Structure 1
Amino acid sequence: MEIKEYIESGIIESFLLGLATPDEEVELQQLRRVFPELNVEIAMAERRLEKLAFEDAVEPPAVAWDNILQRVNWEEDNRDFKKKTKDQHNYYINVEPRKDELITVHKYWKYAFVTIFILSKIFLLGAIIYGLKYYREVNENSRKQPAPAQIERTR
């Protein structure tokens, strides 16, 4: 194969784009040592690809650069703060209300919860007891009532 045909085959472009197989890459590296004009051709192909990339490039919106700068500045500002605070992601619920705290729970909620819990257990026990009494009375009433066949014989 002649070197001009090798260059025109597109192997250099596929090598630069990362599309060449490992065998093709090894072959190109070996040929670069033998034919120095391949290095010039590779440099020219890189410039052509770069020119194409810049011609078709889409400029990002201006807001994107501002967002990136905000994120970088925020990370720089908070880097020292993160070192100082070990439990930055832990949140605690305070039982005693304070003026400087954001999340507070009044101390009487504890008593209200215990009271509601105890009342629910009392109502549950009452429902079970009255349910059992109801089923017992239904069974007793069904035993006391004569069967329909017995009612007709007595007439």
Structure 2
Amino acid sequence: MNLEQYISSGIIESYVLGLISDEESAELAMMCQKYPELQTEIDMVERRFERLAFDEIIHPPMELKDRVLENINRSREKEPEPLPNYTFINIQPKQASTISVHVAWRLIFILLVIIAQVAIFLAIFYYLKYSQLQKNTDGKIVHHIAQAY
């Protein structure tokens, strides 16, 4: 294959666009060493693609810049200025050795303790009453049986 056929095969355009394989890239590098005018052709194709890209560029509308700058200025106006006299609030709690409990929980706990004490008192009271009733009943039964004989 002669040099003109190699150039017209499209390998240079594919190389500039990065579309050729590693084997084809190695072959092109070897051909560039053998034929220095091939490097000149590669440079010309690169410039042609660059010029084509800049000639076919689509510019944004002129009013787009004004709209963007207007949005930026509007957002700057909305941001409040930081006040020089601000109050610092420490959101890190102190390392306290005590635990604070809400007042309502304290009242509920006290009420539960009182109810438990009343329940214990009533349980002991009725147990003693029951024991006394059992003794009286057992004595009456024994006495009643003794009279029957």
TM-score exceeds 0.5: no
* Higher RCO (C-alpha under 8 Å, 6+ residues apart): 2
TM-score scaled by length of structure 1: 0.43
TM-score scaled by length of structure 2: 0.45
The structure with the larger Rg is 2
